[in-house]
Structure 1
Amino acid sequence: MSHTMFIDSWSFKATKDETWMPAQVPGCVHTDLLKQGRISDPFYGTNEHDLQWIDKIDWEYKSSFEASEAFMKEEIKELHFHGLDTYANVYLNDQLIVEADNMFRIWSVDVSDKLKDGKNELKIVFRSPIQEDLPKLKALGYRLPASNDQSVLGGLGEDQVSIFARKAPYHYGWDWGPRFVTSGIWRPVELVAWSGVLIRDVYIDQLHVTSEKAELIARIQLDSTITGKVVLQLTTEDMNWNLQAELQPGTHELSMPIVIDSPKLWWSRGLGDAHRYTFTAEAVAEQEGGSYKSLQQVKTGLRSVKLIRKRDAEGTGASFYFELNGIPVFAKGANHIPNDSFITEVTEERYRAEVLAAAEANMNMLRVWGGGIYEPNVFYDLCDEYGIMVWQDFMFACSMYPGDEHFLQNVKQEAIDNVKRLRNHPSIVLWCGNNEIDSAWAHYDEDAGWGWKKAFSAELREKLWSDYEKIFHELLPNVISELHASVEYWPSSPIVSLTGNKEQHGNPDTNEGDMHYWGVWHNVEPFENYQIKLGRFMSEYGFQSFPEYRTIRSFAEEDELDISSKVMKAHQKNGDGNRLIKQYMDLYMKQPTSFKSFLYLSQVLQADAMKMAIEAHRRKMPYCMGSLYWQMNDCWPVASWSGIDYYGRWKALHYYAKRSFAPLLISAQEEHDQLHVYIVSDRLAPSKGVLWLELFNTSGKLIRTTSKEAISPANSSQLSESISIAALLDGQRKEEVVLVITWIGEDGERVRYEHYFVKNQQLELKKPTIVVKEEHAEEGTVITLSSDVVAKQVVLIAEHEGMWSDNYFDLIPGKPHTVTFMSYDGSAQYRQAQAGSITVQSMFEHVVHSSAAIADA
């Protein structure tokens, strides 16, 4: 059996300094400096600007360790560096053993002849990524586009060097993130010793999976130092398979066919259990002097996943949807970015909090976006556990990259390392080459793209495009084809298809491929365009908001609470962000009464926008089969497109997403003089129910009620009712009414939806009296709220940290609403908890009313 130990006792210093300080590994220079009190909180105020010196100098880490007698007796001793960030020379007992230049690779080295009895010294020298790459820029002679590289903030002027480093792109800044170009040991350092045989890798290759039969091949990589026979046994649950092979010294690739009858399948959330099998592989090699054993376990779910792109009856283009175990799945979710600028600060609990929040909001997919990192195994384990499908980008985003042979080989090994590490995760349903580069460069359309190519000669354009194609059209798909062929590769997001002409590039008017729609936000198009710009799969769209007051106060003082203050600007990385929020607020909202009200209204504005988009996408099933908004989370406290802020606090958007992504959705859309009412369902069987329509005025009076029998469709969207708006209102003013639509199923299920006929800005609300009744106080906070008039966007603010089962909801007179306070304690589900004191507010208190409205109130 092999022996393993982690080397986790380290010291660090700047290379130019003499004094060593304690370091935390995994970690990075910035977090180590902070823990030693050498720098101030990087996220506070404008401290980011004062810490740009850190990436300009070299740093080193050292550790000493003793390998046990059992270790030293083994034949082979290896050091595995699971993550070195980024340019690093590693010395063992003063001998250079590794020259690393890729944050995403695993660096392994045989140290059998270098390891000593007693104390061993390990030293890692990290060269400044800035000083390392500036000469590459000078040698190249021109600047490769890198739109989000905040080189000016980093003191480099226009010299953007992020594209040369195989390092997390967001470390160099993004339009939601700070610029902290880190160095350090960001994943574990492991010493492994073994003799005879060692199982390196077990891959359960899923050839053909149905509910009747799973046809698999266990592909096992085994290293040997011996000549002789090995018996390989694979077991899972109550099944086992055996294989015998003849060994020679070296690496062996062994294949073991497996058939499982009536397998328990892995399903995405909402469709069934996310069942996983644990496979145990054991190799036993008998020798004259005894036997050698090696054991490895992998956990995987059995499922068939296909990306379906074919001409269909829904339009002139081709479909784009995921078929899981033969079932077309509407993908509901968001784009995931790294949870911290300093990724080693993200604990398993923080990962679970995010994935659990996705599950709680009825999501079934997260897109791991290409400007961050290949996440650690725990993230994918959690997605496997909760049935969250993963769209996995390779780590390239919004930039053009070099195409020299060394860069290509570095990228190839990075891809191999990460595909092999992650391919057993059933949650991964797509590998995508990059984020937005095809559409940004737009090689085949002179008038499209972001204007990048216009800075280059025709000859240089061809070279840069050829370099692009080498990575994204050749190298990466070849790696997937060889190592994970059961999952599709998609070259870039967005893209229409690889046509080799101007039809290739994604745009908001295409009817195939995936779509990023940013007309709302960047182009100041109205929210209503979300109902017009509808693609086959909406892989990005979004709208910004500010985090809540408590989060703002984590980085800003009271006298800085103005969106034009230096600190608030430093925590708004999108140059036009504050202006755009204010501009849209002026279009859709009444004026806020205070800074706190501005924060509240920004969240409501964002949530309203995303609600309109999500529901338009879902109503358009099966033409549109995916809705992933930008973005799920934050890497620091900031104004951004996120639905959950850096501290894990749910914004209004996340509560809205929970409702809009519900398995059964009622949604209404106005078109000309008609109101169309849709029933949208992800469930695989239809059901019967009654659809109730109740018209209230904002004073709380029920004007009229109608009902009809209705069918909830199976895994589709159905227009259930079209009503003349004029007949529905029958003389009532649009500014003074709300239509409450309620589905009541035969099984008693209730789904409610409110439709307003005007923007919030024009809605004439009355001052509500909200009654709060608390129940079950000893188990946790459960409250029932009721109002005498229509109370819009009721927000509950708890003294303690946690989330509500519902928040930012509307109260309708005569329809009490019960909610539960929940907290996350690290377990698999939320727990009911005590909220402490509760503040209840509604939109009425947060906006400026006309003098007439105030008089009425």
Structure 2
Amino acid sequence: MKLITELNEGWEIRQCVPSESLNPQTGELNGEHGWIKTAVPAQVHEILLKEGLIEDPALYGKGKECLWVAEHDWLYKLEFSGLSGRKQGDRTYLHFRGLDTLVDIYLNGQHLAYHNDMYLPLRVEVTELLQETNLLLLHFHSPYEFMKHAEYPEEWTGKIRRSRLIRKNDQDFTDYLGAKPYLTRIGIYDRVCLEIVDGMEITETDIASRLSDGYGQGSVTVNVHGSGLVAGASVLITVAGPDRQTAAQYIGFVHSDSAEAWSHNAELAVNRPQLWWPRGYGEQPLYEISVSLVANDETKDSVVKRIGFRDVQMVQPFDFWINQKQVKLWGAQSVQIQGITHCWDDEKSNRLLDLLENGNMNAQRIWGGADRYGDSFYEEADKRGILIWQEFFHDYGMYPDTKEYRELCRREAEYQVKRLKHHPSLLFWCGGNECFMGAEFELPVVPYIGGEIFLEDYKSVCETLDPDRYYHINSPYGGAYCNDPLEGDTHSYTNTWYVPGADYPVMIAEEIRTSPPSMKSFVKYMGEARAWPADYSGMITSRSPYPWPDTWTEQTSAMGWKKIPPIELFYDADSLESAIYKFGAAHGYYLRKILENNRRGKPASDPDGERICKGHFVCRWNDTWPVIYGSMIDYYFEPYIPYYAVKRAYEPVLLSFEVQNFIYMWIVNDSASEVEGTLFIKLFNPVKNEFVQEIRTDVRAAPGESRLVTDLNAFKQFSREYILFACLIDSEGGVIARTNDFVDIEKKLRFPEARLHMDINGDIVTLTTDTFARSIELSGDHEGDEFGWLFEDNYFDLLPREVKRVKIMGKHSKGTIRAKAYYSPHITEGGFER
């Protein structure tokens, strides 16, 4: 049996300047010591931080103090035993799953390999080099020294960043995600393994599944590749159903003329397979495919993967039908999980997926500037029914077009496709983010350099290795220009760009506006003095360079001050609390309006027309560093107003007021079932604290239907201070959906000082109010810890006679829960204990 040993413990690292000479026999530099003990995977910055040798680069000003780290070379050293468990004839390999990025590798003084692509693993045979005790040395070279001396054609000047000479995450060289001025990571970011192969091994397992006979028959095609050869060896393949019972089995003998490489193909039939569905449309049954290599009654190697049977058709751009049901994509675009390291973190990833599910999303776009996500992420997406828009590792603008560079990119794509193609959650591939759009915007008449990577290389890889999946050239792409909302996908920067046809796009791949996080997070990483300078008035005049204090500009990126939401609709801020609310509420308001419009998908003038918009992705989903930008989840994993506005706008059954020349009431049903009930539309007078008019009608909406139910002309004219309210009730009195809205801007409204009543029973908070309560915030505290609380819903409005029940989530099992409407001074408290 193949023996895999992870070489995690016993490592040491040390700094060296690029010009120092290295003794690969000892790992010493000029006889000096100074090694730091560590374990891997871990990159240099996180090791130095743990040892107290640098301050946290996330703190203001500290990133600049860390620039020296990547300007030096770094050595990783490990002594290990290499003979344990080996037999005569066994082959042994060192497998480096993630190296960042330019590294020479030595074993016992022998140069093993040079590696120059952080997205690719490296596996090297070391059978003849191993001794009783071994010295493994990794010499990571400074990317900045490399860029100084690398060949850079004159025609690339002003078009291709020098950092793109290296196949390394480009965000390591910019402040876009928030690191100031940037943070360039270096070192080992994934596992290092010693692999002992007993005669034969499986090197690759390619699995594809299909449906036929009206979904009554499933087929699993397995292509197994390997090395080594033992007479009489066979491949055993077992398909286990969701009930763990065997659904199909195959055994076949391995034949090859060469021990260097062999392959074996098989197809297995599964009768009446259970269908895998996206979240909200059904269950996610997974079938386990076990592939074993057997020789002399002994298992030499084995691979286990899980698949799901589903049929995906794209009938027009981004119009996906899964198992013959149209599925709209409502989701978010994620970035790197953490800033100081490229190491994958399952716990953080699962927390973000929990928030994604709570946010009523069924899709996630993995941005081209993100890290290589871990296998466990896709396994979780399979289990949860989250559809994945997966991009290759490119972001904004042009790329080198040399043969060597294209070859690295092609190998990356092949690795990614082979690694991920069996996942049912993987919806389609995409070449990268804003590569063509960025060049088109900044250099509109300059021919694109490196386009063959996306137009030819990646396209060929996907069509060859994964022909059943759609490949999208880039995001955005398609139409008369790269960001054309009428034909391709579009990135919404309509507050800074004029975009024809932006009201009803085919697909919004990014929707971004800028606001700070919640008060507690903002103060934690800004400090009160910088968060609200003593001399700042809160006024925005013609002489104001920014719409916020100058200190906020220091904490943003990508000209975030130009991407603000419509703060002019909200009250001017005279304090930090009111400023954070103004930006957050404006951000939530904007996202709610644009998402509801896109979910309706058509104007009231064409109520029977096609739903034009096929999906929507908010940007960004998460913060990698403390930053003021557009994320739903901040650096401390705390959601704020925009997150909850998106959650409500993504409700599977949506009630939506469209306030135009007339006021219309819409229902949108993106659930898997028909909905039916009685719709109550009411006008509420907040001054008299009573409902003054009502429309009642029976409503039915089929799955996938966007329907204009009625206008509100029966109300005739009414005061703009009135509040619109709608509620859909089923036959048993249960609430299917509800909404409320305003007819005027918030800045012109006056809100009552609501008093809330709160009951806590287990992990459920029940709230009622004496009068209209605007933006109720739920917060928690346990012995001074205000972080890590999560509520199923938050920052919501509540009307009299409504009962709101909210589940308490997050890490805390006890504490104090507080509830307060924003415009009210009254705070309601209650004790909580699970």
Instruction: Please state whether the residue corresponding to 1:750 is helix, strand or coil.
Output: strand
- Partner Cα distance (1:710, 1:364) in 2: 25
Question: Which residue matches 2:793?
Answer: 806
Instruction: Look up the SS of the partner of 2:454 in the other structure.
Output: helix
Give the match for residue 381 of structure 1: 379
For residues 234 and 837 of structure 1, what CA distance do their matches in structure 2 show?
51
Please give the per-residue CA displacement for 1:402-433, whole angstroms capped at 9, x wherever unaligned: 11111111111111112111112111111000
CA–CA distance in 2 between the matches of 1:336 and 1:507? 20
Mark the CA change 1:174 to 1:379 in structure 2 (over 3 Å): closer, same or farther: farther
Identity %: 24
Give the corresponding residue for 2:816: 836
Partner Cα separation in structure 1 for residue 656 and residue 483 of structure 2:
27
- Structure 1 residue 695 displacement after superposition: 0.4
| Residue 228 (structure 1) shift | 4.7
The verdict on how the C-alpha distance between 1:102 and 1:532 changes in structure 2, with shifts beyond 3 A counting, is closer
2:85 matched residue in structure 1: 70
Q: How does 1:613-632 map to 2 (within 5 A)?
A: 613-620=594-601, 622-632=611-621
- Give, in angstroms, the shift of residue 764 of structure 1: 2.5
Measure, in 1, the Cα distance between the counterparts of 2:87 and 2:52. 39
> 2:483 maps to which residue?
507
- Measured after TM superposition, the shift of residue 845 of structure 1 is 5.9
Q: CA deviation at 1:173?
A: 2.1
* 8 Å Cα contact 2:237/2:291 also seen in 1: yes
Contact 1:277 1:301 in 2 (8 A): yes
2:524 is paired with a residue whose SS is coil
Matched, 1:552 2:522: yes
Give 1:586-735 correspondences, 5 Å limit: 587-620=568-601, 622-672=611-661, 674-699=662-687, 700-724=689-713, 727-730=714-717, 732-734=718-720
Superposed displacement of residue 235, structure 1: 3.6
SS of the residue corresponding to residue 559 of structure 1 reads: helix
Does residue 481 of the first structure (1) align with residue 463 of the second (2)?
Answer: yes
Give SS of 2:8's match: coil
Question: What letter is aligned with 2:140?
Answer: F
1:364 is aligned to 362
Which position in structure 2 is the counterpart of 1:245? 254
- 1:12 has 2:13 as partner: yes
Native 8 Å contact 1:536 1:623 kept in 2:
yes
Query: What SS does the aligned partner of 1:267 have?
Result: coil
Take 1:845 and 1:74, find their aligned partners in 2: how far apart are those partners? 78
Between 227-236 and 605-614, report the one with greater CA deviation.
227-236
Q: Which letter maps to 2:679?
A: L
User: More helix per residue: 1 or 2?
Assistant: 1
Instruction: Indicate whether 1:493 and 2:470 are aligned.
Output: no
Residue of structure 1 in register with 2:200 after alignment? 197
Supply the distance in 2 between the matched residues of 1:683 and 1:198 (Cα, whole angstroms).
46
Q: After superposition, what is the alpha-carbon deviation per residue over 1:249-274, rounded to whole angstroms, capped at 9, x for unaligned?
A: 02222211111111112111001111
What does residue range 445-464 of structure 1 map to in structure 2 within 5 Å?
Answer: 449-454=440-445, 461=447, 464=448
Deviation at 1:514, TM superposition (A): 1.4
**1:569 and 2:553 correspond:** yes
Q: CA deviation at 1:241?
A: 1.7
| Counterpart code for 2:202 | I
Partner of 1:751 in structure 2? 737
Structure 1 residues 732-762: Cα deviation after superposition (integer angstroms, max 9, x where no partner): 321x111101111235343111121111112
One-letter code aligned to 2:215: S
How far apart are the structure 2 equivalents of 1:824 and 1:299?
A: 30
Moved more, 18-27 or 181-190: 18-27
Which residue of structure 2 aligns with residue 155 of structure 1? none
Q: Which amino acid is 1:450 matched to?
A: F
CA distance in 1, matches of 2:394, 2:554: 26
Letter in 2 for 1:819: V
**Residues 496-555 of structure 1 deviation map (CA, whole Å, 9 limit, x = unaligned):** 16xxxxx3x2335x42221212113x34x8xxx999522111111111110112222332
Letter in 2 for 1:553: V
The AA in structure 1 aligned to 2:281 is L
Rounded Cα–Cα distance in structure 2 between residues aligned with 1:102 and 1:42 = 25
The amino acid of 1:15's aligned partner reads C
Distance in 2, matches of 1:656 and 1:253, equals: 52
| Alignment correspondent of 2:218 | 214
Partner of 2:538: none
CA distance in 2: counterparts of 1:343 and 1:19, whole angstroms: 23
CA RMSD of aligned residues (A): 2.3
The letter of the residue matching 1:804 is F
Taking the aligned partners of 1:354 and 1:488, their CA distance within structure 2 comes to: 26
The separation in 1 between residues aligned to 2:563 and 2:389, in whole angstroms, is: 30
3-state SS of 2:488 partner: coil
Amino acid aligned to 1:604: A
Compared CA separation, residues 268 and 252, structure 1 to 2 (3 A):
same
Cα distance in 2 for partners of 1:138, 1:483 equals 33
Q: Which blocks of at least 5 consecutive residues in structure 2 are unaligned?
A: 18-31, 534-547, 602-609, 827-834
User: For 1:431, what is the secondary structure of its paired residue?
Assistant: strand
Partner of 1:773: 758
- SS where residue 425 of structure 1 aligns? coil
- Structure 1 residue 168 displacement after superposition: 1.3
Where do 1:341-490 residues align within 5 Å?
341-344=339-342, 346-441=344-439, 449-454=440-445, 461=447, 464-465=448-449, 467-468=450-451, 470-490=452-472
Q: How is 1:8-157 mapped onto 2 (pairs within 5 angstroms)? A: 8-9=8-9, 10-16=11-17, 18-71=33-86, 73=88, 75-116=90-131, 118-136=132-150, 138-140=152-154, 142-145=156-159
Inter-CA distance 269–291: structure 2 relative to 1 (3 Å threshold): closer
Partner of 1:828: none
3-state SS of the aligned residue for 2:678?
Answer: strand
CA offsets 1:383-418 (integer angstroms, 9 cap, x no match): 111110000010101021111111111111111112
Matches within 5 A, 1:813-832: 813-824=800-811
Q: 1:567 to 1:24 in 2, by over 3 A?
A: farther
SS at match of 2:612: coil
Deviation of residue 340 (structure 1)?
1.0
Give the 3-state SS of the residue equivalent to 1:533 in structure 2: coil
Q: Residue 302 of structure 1 aligns with which residue? A: 309
Figure out how many residues of one structure are paired with residues of the other and give that number.
773
3-state DSSP of counterpart to 1:553: helix
Q: Deviations over 1:166-212 (max 9, x none)?
A: 11122222433211111100111111101222122222212445631
Rounded Cα–Cα distance in structure 2 between residues aligned with 1:21 and 1:381: 35
Distance 1:437 1:138, change over 3 A: closer
Aligned residue for 1:419, secondary structure, equals helix
User: Partner residue of 1:264?
Assistant: 274
Corresponding residue of 2:284: 274
Q: How many angstroms apart in 2 are the aligned matches of 1:344 and 1:451?
A: 29
8 Å CA contact 1:530, 1:613 repeated in 2 = no
The answer to whether the 8 A contact 1:792-1:809 is kept is yes
Deviations 1:554-613 (A, max 9, x none): 3232222237777643321133x24654x832x210112411221122211111111111
Give the Cα–Cα distance (whole angstroms) in 2 for the partners of residues 68 and 646 of structure 1. Answer: 45
- CA, structure 1 residues 569+71, in 2 after alignment: closer, same or farther (shift >3 Å)? farther
Which residue of the partner structure matches residue 511 of structure 2?
541
CA distance in 2, matches of 1:845, 1:579: 33
Unmatched 5+ stretches in structure 1: 147-159, 310-318, 442-448, 498-502, 826-832, 847-857
